[in-house]
Structure 1
């Protein structure tokens, strides 16, 4: 079997989001600016991506990077949906739902924390399935839960 391709974007972790509700959290009420929300999301991705790199999470795997979609809905999934590995692009597809209510009336730091928790839970579930190295990822999840 051929090695999976490296991503053209150079990332090991890409996070996207989709809203499943019409809820208007901090951005709509003016309590947090869109720029702050996206900065929190970027900061969360950058911090967790560095753990992925440090743990060599993707090494010796059928994927070279992870594509995670965070669905802003009405529940907090404990387990993500683990999709297939795309042989053409080399990504592992993951999705997880978070409760939009956890994003209402909070600031940048709490938004970042919620996104990091969802990302870490997703990585650990997929890591168990694929036998990935994830010492720093696991430690970070425990630290955030404390």
Structure 2
């Protein structure tokens, strides 16, 4: 089962390695991982999408809480959070194909952020299903390069 976890930590070296090691040491696959500083540079938020069973995850979360630099841990159940990903993709697009690619971008509210003679760089945000649908439609044009953030989440309400 897929779980999204948000961990607020002190912004110190080695914290991410200890948390990632804890999950991988217990047999969890970390599907996505994002880390970024908060407004106050003393804290960072780690957002991880982890695959594993519920009982083992509860045990792992209890152990994460015990780590010295961990301030708060939140596990989002389905529907409890707003989730988004960012994907940046370079697509081959001849002059004849550009209008088709631009129409796909309009449908998904994606932005063309760079134009070259034979390629377009596109940025798109959305939930995982929206990103997957966008990639399925854009793939036939020829993906040259892609970078994807993985999941970010905030609690609703």
Normalised by the shorter chain, which TM-score bucket?
Answer: under 0.3
TM-score normalised over the length of structure 1 = 0.27
Which structure shows the bigger proportion of residues in strand conformation? Answer: 2
Which protein has the larger Cα radius of gyration, Structure 1 or Structure 2?
2
